[in-house]
Chains A and B, each alone.
Chain A
């Protein structure tokens, strides 16, 4: 009885979800069309996709509804605080410049990067950019596109030659690449600032961290209040997950005793990543892509690296710097590899999580783009493709729900394995079993 009731609920929920998602896509498709995906009459899928998965200084819900976010920038003259709405023009585009009254700096937003454009006769307008082109040519630090992306460390005077098409890689649809070549490249010059803004990803991260704290502190209180009693409500929902991380991830990787030490971190990481992944899947919320933001996954990976390094025992380091039972010449090959693996392991964690989450978002957005690419040719083709693209997107959405959980699980599991590796004792004896 209980099971049938449950499955009925689940079916109803699925039906609701599917309908909701289908609507969401039709709406979000509209919104992308309205929000600069179309420039100069031509729809640029690559630009639209990167625009949607990149971090941003504002949250764009749909139509003209945009939530400005606080910008905190640091330059040589000190910090400046302002809202990102200062850049917004009457067409809801971030084209205006802003001069801070306290530092006197003039800022401009270009591809979600804040630049100082002091002293340059700067009219940020991508369509009449002759002056910028000249400025770019005069500048000796003209970087190639790829360099511009990689060197985005805020130190040098960088000229951006639209990095978007390249950051997507060559795997995009050929038609889009063609469009990119045809379109006149956009030039912009200015000094990047050190940006401490509460961007979309930072805000999402803070919200999810707050949510995780709220839920689990409440849950902990419930445990204290209902001591010795059966779990109830939220406890019932989340306890299996806590036990899953404890019994299926931490204890197998670390053993019962050492698991106690690392379990709080593993649980925090798991629920944080999962919450962030799920937030990114909620439609109409401006498409958060927290775990697809490299800066954030980098921090998570770095914390894993630091914990592994600090807790690494003599046995662990011994195996890295002088692997036992290996002939001397092989040691010369093995030791650098082992040393590199210390860094590669957490780096892989970071890349896997970021790539998986971005890939999911890109696929869904690519299928949305497909509708517009065909819709430009003829309206009927747009509708025809739309039906199939929507069906596939719904399918992808369910996979994404799974991936959201799976990636959180994989990150936690591998972190636990790395910790286990670093703190393991009697390795050889265990290996024989």
Chain B
């Protein structure tokens, strides 16, 4: 201690003992646990980051799946709609065909009926005419037989009668 550059054995001895003891204590009680937990923490952070990355990937995968699902659903809907439309069209056209067929049939039937009625009417008329003709012939025959003149007038009136009929 005499001068600045001298070395004191006592001081050096204290320094050696104290420093080595402290170095040992710190190694056992401080640096060991501190470095261990720092290592563990950095490991933990790394793990967490990896996990997050994995989760992110999974998420994006899931999202892609969702999109796929959505797209499929949309396609399905479109298909169903198209099918429905086609069905509707077919039903409508079918109905239309059926209706037209029905109407044609009805018209045909009506026409047939009219024809039949007409025929019946004509037949009836013919029968009536025949009856009337017979009647007239009968009356005429009776008049003629009684008076010539009268027969003639009768003829005339009968003809007029027929005509008015």
Tell whether A167 is near chain B: CB-to-CB under 8 Å.
yes
B30 to chain A: which residues have CB within 8 Å?
213, 216-217, 219-220
Instruction: Decide if A149 touches B5 in the complex (CB within 8 Å).
Output: yes
With the chains together, A230 CA to B22 CA distance in Å?
A: 28
Selecting from B10-18, B60-68, B109-117, B149-157, the interface stretch reads B10-18
Q: Name which residue of chain B comes closest to A168, CB basis.
A: B4
Mask for B15-32, Cβ within 8 A of A = 1, else 0? 110111011011101111
Which of A149, A293, A294, A295: most chain B Cβ within 10 A?
A295
Q: Which of B12, B13, B38 contacts A243 (CB 8 A)?
A: B38
Asked if A252 is at the interface (CB within 8 A of a chain B CB), the reply is no
Contacts of B11 in A (CB 8 A): 55, 195, 199, 201-202, 293, 295-296
Is B6's CB under 8 angstroms from A149's CB?
yes
Contact between chains at B4 and A205 (CB < 8 Å): no
Interface residues of A in 197-248 (CB under 8 A from B): 197-199, 201-202, 205-206, 209, 212-213, 216-217, 219-221, 223-224, 227-228, 239, 242-243, 246
A387 to chain B, nearest CB (A): 30
Q: Are B4 and A228 in contact (CB under 8 A)?
A: no
- Give A298 to B37 CA distance when docked, in angstroms: 34
Which of A50, A216, A265 makes the CB contact (< 8 A) with B4?
A: A50
Expressed in whole angstroms, the minimum distance between the Cβ of A297 and any Cβ of chain B is 9
Q: How far is the CA of A221 from the CA of B33 in the complex (A)?
A: 8
Q: Which residues does chain B contribute within 8 Å of A209, judged by CB atoms?
A: 18-19, 22
When chains A and B are docked, how far (Å) is the Cα of A213 from the Cα of B19? 11
User: Taking the nearest CB of chain B, how far is it from the CB of A68, in angstroms?
Assistant: 16
Which residues 114-164 of A have a CB within 8 angstroms of B? Answer: 148-150, 152-154, 160, 163-164
**A242 to B12 Cα, complex, angstroms:** 27
**B15-A296 in contact (CB<8A):** yes
Instruction: Give the most central of B9, B14, B19: most A CB within 10 Å.
Output: B14
Q: Are B33 and A223 in contact (CB under 8 A)?
A: yes
Smallest distance from the beta carbon of B154 to chain A beta carbons, Å? 140
Q: Mark A10-49, 1 if CB is under 8 A from B, else 0.
A: 0000000000000000000000000000000000000000
B26 contacts which chain A residues (CB < 8 A)?
212-213, 216-217, 264, 267-268
Question: A303 to B22, alpha carbons, bound, how many Å?
Answer: 13
Q: How far is the CB of A153 from chain B (nearest CB, A)?
A: 8
Residues on the B chain within 8 Å of A192, using CB: 2
Q: Check if B96 is an interface residue, CB within 8 A of chain A.
A: no
Task: From known contacts A296-B15, A303-B19, infer whether A195 and B31 are also in contact, taking CB-CB under 8 Å.
Answer: no
Contact of B23 with A152 in the complex, beta carbons under 8 Å: no
Query: Is the CB–CB distance between B33 and A220 below 8 Å?
Result: yes
A78 to B76 CA separation, bound complex (whole angstroms)? 106
Q: Complex formed: what's the CA distance from A360 to B37 in Å? A: 38
Quick check: is A53 within 8 A (CB to CB) of the other chain?
yes
Q: Is the interface of B mostly helix, strand, loop or mixed?
A: helix
Select one of A112, A198, A300 contacting B1, CB under 8 A.
A112
**Whole-angstrom CA separation of A168 from B13 in the bound complex:** 25
List of B residues within 8 angstroms of A221 by Cβ: 33
Q: Which residue of B lies closest to A299 (CB)?
A: B15
Q: B12 and A298: CB pair below 8 A?
A: yes
Hey, which chain B residues are within 8 Å of A298, CB to CB?
A: 7, 12
- Which of A55, A57, A194, A268 has the largest count of B CB atoms less than 10 A from its CB? A268
Residue contact A202 to B14, C-beta cutoff 8 Å: yes
A390 within 8 A of B: no
CB <8 Å contact, B2 and A268? no
The reply on A113 being an interface residue by CB < 8 A is yes
- Whether the pair A163, B1 counts as a contact (CB closer than 8 A) is no
Residues on the B chain within 8 Å of A284, using CB: none
In the bound assembly, the distance between CA atoms of A216 and B38 in angstroms comes to 14
Task: Indicate if A196 sits at the interface (CB-CB under 8 A).
Answer: yes
Query: A412 — which chain B residues lie within 8 A by C-beta?
Result: none
Q: Is B165 an interface residue (CB 8 A)?
A: no
| Contact across chains for B23 and A113 when beta carbons are under 8 A apart | no
A334 CB within 8 Å of chain B = no
Interchain CA distance A196-B18 in the complex, whole Å: 13
Q: What are the 10 A-B residue pairs with the smallest beta carbon separation, nearest first?
A: A216-B30, A295-B11, A196-B10, A167-B3, A264-B27, A299-B15, A223-B37, A152-B6, A220-B33, A264-B31
Which A residues are closer than 8 A to B by beta carbons?
A: 50, 53-57, 72, 111-113, 148-150, 152-154, 160, 163-164, 166-168, 192, 194-199, 201-202, 205-206, 209, 212-213, 216-217, 219-221, 223-224, 227-228, 239, 242-243, 246, 260, 263-265, 267-268, 272, 293-296, 298-300, 302-303, 358
Interchain Cβ contacts under 8 Å between A and B, 16 examples: A57-B1, A150-B6, A164-B3, A196-B14, A212-B22, A217-B26, A217-B29, A223-B33, A223-B34, A223-B37, A264-B23, A264-B27, A265-B27, A294-B4, A295-B9, A299-B16
